[in-house]
Amino acid sequence: MSELLFPRGFRAVTAAASIKKVGRDDLALLVMPDGATAAALFTTNLFCAAPVQLSRQHLKDSRGHASALLLNSGCANAATGSLGASNAIDCVELIANALGVSALSVLVNSTGVIGTQLPMDRIAPLLAPLAKSACEADDAGSLEAYARAIMTTDTRPKMSTRVLQIGDIRIRLSGVAKGAGMIHPNMATMISVVTTDAQLSASELDMLLRDAADKSFHRISVDGDTSTNDSLFAFASGKAGRVDPELLRTALIEVCQELARMIVTDGEGFTRSMSVRVEGARTKEEATTVAKTVAQSLLVRCAVTGGDPNWGRIVAAAGRAGVRFDPSELRLYVGGIEIFAQGQPVVCDAQAVRAAFNGEHVAMILHLGATTGEVGDTNADEFLTSGLTEEYVRLNADYTT
């Protein structure tokens, strides 16, 4: 099987700077030799990391233009004060100088432990050679090597690609992501980079990206904690030529959804996934609130881990979401089986219910009864998450130690 590469107009290289562990690539540089339009969504956390603040500013000042993106794993460079800020600036300037481009066109981000400083003595000497090797590279560079270099507690690299043939034009889209922990919808989620060789203006790219994030990264939760470094970047090199941006919408959504699913199914301590779909709400916002509340309930998530058909916890979580609905109108389906309706348990096959809680994926649908039509219910919303496991607790009880 041939290696997955970035689309035309991109060069990706990686290196090992021993930031947290020795011997694995933990620096990833993406270079757009002829530039690219750029868009990004960043974390809403007040403690957004130094590189997030810098990249946000650069993206604004350059009006959505970029020549390079530097990422590292092992250290988030968050809650690191003025030293952290100047370290991020130093990284950008070293890359900009080596590439001979404006610092404004270089973006950065970091992922890993919060509150520690970047080991600049080990990182700085690598940056100019890294930029040089990117310029001299024979091919666009391996998606997998890039995805591996940004991993923290991820157990596997996360990639997704699409190829579209539109008339004579062949457009490629690729995406990589890292996830695993501190995953919660609040703008974007952790670090994802989407690239395409389509020609798009910065505002077209921004619009497509926001829509795709809403339908993917904003609809997953691993643990309810929003990171200090969440960033979703998108770059369009234009090398493949110009097509109607609307033709790319579906492919971009698919790439983002695939990455989002990969993030959930490689979440810390993952054993099985669960989805919560809410229908029949009065408003989309209310559907989102109920779906999110059930998806975040520790007790529901523990029951899913145990394959325990303790569905009372699902309706109890819906009932505390702060959304007004008539409890006697609520219907709960798990794995397609109607379990609860008219305020009481539905007589159903206990063995089938148990099997529905024991599958690879536990699919819950809650119908709030405020609207009747399920087909084309535009107020419906869905969240994807996973069971909460002992392994998650074990991993997070000694993350820095």
Among all residues, which ones are annotated catalytic? 189
- Cα 109 to chain center, whole Å? 14
**CA distances for 170 relative to 8, 164, 165, 183, 236, angstroms:** 11, 6, 5, 34, 14
**CA distances for 317 relative to 182, 190, 276, 306, 366, angstroms:** 22, 27, 12, 18, 11
Provide, rounded to whole angstroms, the least separation between the CB of residue 81 and a copy of itself. 3
Nearer to a copy of itself, 50 or 213 (CB): 50
Mention every residue, 6+ apart, whose C-beta is less than 8 A from residue 83. Answer: 117
Contacts with a copy of itself, residue ranges (CB under 8 A) = 44-48, 76, 78-84, 113-116, 181-182, 184, 186, 223-228, 296-299, 302-303, 305-306, 308-313, 315-320, 324-325, 327-328, 340, 342-345, 387-390, 392-394, 396-401
Q: Give the residue carrying structure tokens 């560079």.
A: 141
> 170 has which bridge partners?
165
Provide, rounded to whole angstroms, the least separation between the CB of residue 85 and a copy of itself. 9
Provide, rounded to whole angstroms, the least separation between the CB of residue 302 and a copy of itself. 3
Provide, rounded to whole angstroms, the least separation between the CB of residue 156 and a copy of itself. 22
DSSP, collapsed to helix, strand or coil, labels residue 159 as strand
Nearer to a copy of itself, 196 or 288 (CB): 288
Provide, rounded to whole angstroms, the least separation between the CB of residue 348 and a copy of itself. 12
Torsion of CA 99, 101, 103, 105, to 10 degrees: -100
Q: Which amino acid is at 49?
A: A
Provide, rounded to whole angstroms, the least separation between the CB of residue 332 and a copy of itself. 9
| The two structure tokens encoding residue 95 | 């890359």
**CA distances for 11 relative to 37, 59, 199, 295, 388, angstroms:** 15, 20, 17, 39, 38
> 24 has which bridge partners?
none
Nearer to a copy of itself, 245 or 309 (CB): 309
Whether 38 and 232 have beta carbons less than 8 Å apart is answered as: no
> Is beta strand 191-199 parallel, antiparallel or unpaired with respect to 106-110?
unpaired
Strands (E), 303-393: 331-334, 337-341, 344-345, 361-367, 381-386
Spatial separation of the C-alpha atoms in residues 326 and 330, rounded to whole Å: 7
Provide, rounded to whole angstroms, the least separation between the CB of residue 24 and a copy of itself. 21
Nearer to a copy of itself, 316 or 355 (CB): 316
Nearer to a copy of itself, 33 or 312 (CB): 312
Spatial separation of the C-alpha atoms in residues 288 and 53, rounded to whole Å: 29
Nearer to a copy of itself, 146 or 325 (CB): 325
Whether 174 and 195 have beta carbons less than 8 Å apart is answered as: yes
Nearer to a copy of itself, 119 or 312 (CB): 312
Radius of gyration, alpha carbons of the chain: 22
